[in-house]
């Protein structure tokens, strides 16, 4: 730290004095008025820092207000039909702890008032040294036991993640699908069912949703409160659901029976016997500690997370032998080539190539008929000409797109596609590309999300060139983010034609604003428009 500046630093959730003493060595005493704020649940740790401020619980009035708002899904009016006696008892036992109040209100929401006394009696509050924390844990435990079986399983799976990490929603749901946690329903996709499970956990306040700012409200991930994660990990360990290995966990023979391994910075290599029964391996940058992939006979999920250059570039050599694999995610692990044997994994549902300098996909991947999610937006791969063979794809995330490779035509073959994301510039500067793009997008009858970072060369069409007049966007569309909107498409973005559209982010020509004004009703707030004039659009020269 530079000694000439003032700082305000917040260090959250310190667990022991040793950690604080280590952090303190990096702090500079320079009399510039800097301030350090630390938080901890342990008073002994707090007293080693400096002045202690004990965070006071919410007052009874604020506790009631928080309880009512959660009980009535944000409504300000206070209900007048609450069972007063048991209601007051529950609030008293929550002790003004916000997490406890929100969790138990979520549990009681929609339940008959006769159920409240049963809840209060069943939780059984204790009198431990840190009573607030212990009582909150008991509330969370009761909330867990109140869940249906499929949600219990999905919640326990969160124990694979370290504390305070941002969990990406799509990645989590696809792991649930690969593990077989999602129960099939006629006419509904597995991901959509998983998304409903995710929302149910959010509504019960068991996980905290995280929004993506530029989408103005779209939930893209979640976090788990520390106390909630403690409860999840405890239950997961008791049921041998997930085995977590980290620097604090000593390897024992019991790990040989692990069904799911979550590896977080271990200090000693895993033996091949510890992997024989593992159905999933979620690891943060520790591949040098793993045995060969050929030792994972029944693996369904392989997720190598993190940022690590120490992976053996040949580590994926035996990946083709993982015939049961449903989910393969590669973090930033420094690989440059995928083995062609990856095409042997006929049950593969998800292929996420992470941030690796891979330049080409093996053609054998074109034979993965069950592949539902392909993410290569952070690689150097140019979309192959055979991408249209992957007719089961529901989610496609791309980086560089070469329109000369017939991608805009192949796209129209992916009729199961639900989400399309292109993170690099899409060149639609010639008539063929623009018309083919319009035709292909119109064929995507199940598309819900179209997210295009930038479109180059999309220009004003002549009267004879209006490709969108004969095509329509899917009424299933919920999110549309597209730069440089072709004017002929403006009239197609209409609430009457797109009843499910909830988020719209566009660059449009200034004259088209009048068209938008006539299409969208007053009070429709999901639209974010940026205007451009025709002269700002660059069209490449014919030379």
Q: Nearest CA to 98 among 55, 127, 40?
A: 55
Token pair 């299409």 is at which residue?
519
- pLDDT < 50: residue spans in the chain: 76, 126-129, 215, 251-253, 460, 463, 522-525, 531-543
Which residues are CB-contacts of 157 (< 8 A; sequence separation ≥ 6)? 172, 175, 176, 179, 181, 241, 242, 260
Whether 352 and 405 map to the same domain: the answer is: no
- Whether residue 269 lies inside any domain: the answer is yes
Which residues are CB-contacts of 8 (< 8 A; sequence separation ≥ 6)? 34, 35, 37
- Whether residue 233 lies inside any domain: the answer is no
Digit-coded pLDDT (tens) for 99-109: 788 888 887 87
Q: How many domains does the structure of the chain reveal? A: 5
Say which DSSP state 59 is in.
P
Digit-coded pLDDT (tens) for 73-117: 655 455 556 667 777 888 877 778 887 888 888 878 777 877 777
Whether 193 and 138 map to the same domain: the answer is: no
- Whether residue 281 lies inside any domain: the answer is yes
The whole-number pLDDT of residue 160 equals 94
DSSP letters for 232-260 = HHHHHHHTTS-EEEETTPPP-GGGGG-SE
- Whether residue 133 lies inside any domain: the answer is yes
Whether 404 and 429 map to the same domain: the answer is: yes
The backbone torsions φ and ψ at residue 243, rounded to the nearest 5 degrees and listed phi first, read -105, 115
- Where does 223-270 have alpha helices with state H? 226-238
Can you give the residue range of the structural domain that contains 99?
A: 60-145
CATH number of 194's domain: 1.10.10
C-beta separation of 128 from 230 below 8 A: no
Q: Dihedral (C-alpha) 346, 349, 324, 241: value to the nearest 10 degrees? A: 180
- Whether residue 368 lies inside any domain: the answer is no
Residues facing residue 188 across a β-bridge: 185
CATH number of 347's domain: 3.80.10.10
CB-CB neighbours of 117 under 10 Å: 14
CA distances from 498 to 136, 259, 294, 518 (A): 44, 45, 49, 15
Say which DSSP state 107 is in.
H
Predicted TM-score (pTM) of the model is 0.76
Whether 28 and 76 map to the same domain: the answer is: no
HSE-CB for 526 with a 13 A CA cutoff: 16
User: Angle at CA 341, nearest 5°, toward 335 and 346?
Assistant: 115
Whether 265 and 157 map to the same domain: the answer is: no
Domain boundary among 145, 175, 202: 145
Token pair 């690590």 is at which residue?
308
Whether 263 and 221 map to the same domain: the answer is: no
Whether 393 and 509 map to the same domain: the answer is: yes
The whole-number pLDDT of residue 288 equals 66
Domain boundary among 129, 145, 161: 145
In sign, the C-alpha dihedral spanning 308, 310, 313, 319 is negative
- Whether residue 44 lies inside any domain: the answer is yes
- Whether residue 54 lies inside any domain: the answer is no
CATH number of 516's domain: 3.80.10
Whether 337 and 394 map to the same domain: the answer is: no
The whole-number pLDDT of residue 111 equals 77
Report the alpha-carbon distance of residue 403 to residue 440 in Å, rounded: 13
Report the alpha-carbon distance of residue 422 to residue 403 in Å, rounded: 13
Report the alpha-carbon distance of residue 42 to residue 19 in Å, rounded: 13
Whether 451 and 536 map to the same domain: the answer is: yes
- Whether residue 2 lies inside any domain: the answer is no
Whether 322 and 449 map to the same domain: the answer is: no
Whether 393 and 541 map to the same domain: the answer is: yes
45 Cα distance to chain centroid:
34
Token pair 């007049």 is at which residue?
469
Q: Nearest CA to 350 among 210, 177, 103?
A: 177
The whole-number pLDDT of residue 94 equals 76
Whether 166 and 206 map to the same domain: the answer is: yes
- What tokens were used for 42? 């342990």
């Amino acid at each position: 730290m530079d000694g000439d500046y003032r700082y305000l630093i917040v260090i959250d959730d310190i667990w022991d004095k040793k950690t604080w003493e280590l952090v303190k060595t990096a702090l500079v005493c320079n009399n510039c008025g800097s301030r350090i704020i630390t938080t901890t649940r342990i008073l002994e740790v707090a007293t080693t820092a400096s002045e202690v401020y004990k965070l006071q619980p919410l007052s009874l009035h604020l506790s009631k207000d928080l309880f009512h708002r959660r009980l009535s899904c944000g409504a300000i009016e206070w209900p007048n039909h609450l069972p007063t006696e048991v209601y007051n008892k529950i609030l008293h036992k929550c002790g003004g702890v916000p997490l406890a109040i929100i969790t138990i209100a979520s549990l009681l929401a929609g339940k008959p008032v006769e159920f409240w006394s049963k809840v209060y009696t069943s939780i059984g509050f204790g009198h431990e040294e840190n009573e607030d924390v212990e009582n909150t844990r008991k509330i969370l435990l009761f909330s867990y036991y109140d869940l249906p079986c499929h949600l219990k399983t999905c919640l326990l799976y969160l124990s694979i993640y370290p504390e305070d990490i941002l969990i990406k929603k799509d990645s989590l749901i696809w792991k649930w699908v690969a593990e077989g946690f999602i129960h099939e329903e006629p006419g509904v996709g597995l991901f959509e069912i998983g998304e409903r499970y995710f929302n149910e956990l959010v509504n019960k306040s068991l996980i905290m949703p995280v929004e993506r700012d530029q989408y103005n409200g779209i939930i893209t991930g979640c976090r788990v409160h520390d106390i909630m994660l403690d409860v999840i990990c405890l239950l997961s360990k008791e049921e041998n659901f997930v085995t977590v290995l980290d620097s604090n966990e000593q390897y024992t023979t019991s790990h040989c029976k692990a069904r799911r391994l979550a590896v977080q910075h271990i200090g000693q290599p895993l033996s091949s016997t510890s992997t024989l029964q593992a159905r999933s391996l979620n690891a943060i940058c520790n591949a040098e500690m793993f045995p060969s992939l050929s030792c994972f006979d029944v693996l369904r999920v392989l997720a190598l997370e993190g940022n690590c250059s120490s992976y053996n570039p040949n580590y994926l050599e035996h990946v083709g032998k993982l015939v049961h694999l449903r989910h393969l995610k590669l973090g930033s692990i420094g690989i440059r080539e995928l083995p062609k044997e990856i095409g042997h994994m006929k049950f593969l549902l998800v292929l996420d190539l992470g941030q690796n300098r891979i330049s080409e996909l093996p053609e054998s991947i074109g034979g993965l008929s069950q592949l539902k999610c392909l993410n290569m937006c952070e690689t150097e791969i140019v979309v192959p000409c055979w991408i249209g063979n992957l007719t089961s794809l529901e989610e496609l995330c791309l980086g560089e797109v070469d329109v000369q490779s017939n991608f805009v035509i192949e796209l129209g073959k992916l009729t199961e596609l639900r989400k399309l994301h292109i993170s690099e510039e899409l060149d639609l500067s010639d008539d063929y590309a623009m018309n083919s793009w319009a035709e292909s997008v119109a064929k995507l009858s199940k598309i819900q999300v179209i997210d295009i970072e930038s479109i180059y060369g999309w220009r004003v069409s002549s009267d004879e060139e209006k490709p969108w007049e004969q095509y329509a966007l899917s009424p299933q569309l919920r999110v549309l983010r597209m730069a440089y909107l072709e004017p002929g498409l403006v009239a197609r973005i209409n609430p009457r034609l797109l009843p499910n559209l909830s988020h719209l982010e566009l660059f449009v020509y200034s004259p088209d604003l009048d068209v938008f004004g006539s299409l969208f009703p007053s009070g429709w707030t999901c639209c974010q428009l940026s205007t451009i004039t025709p002269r700002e659009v660059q069209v490449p020269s014919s030379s």
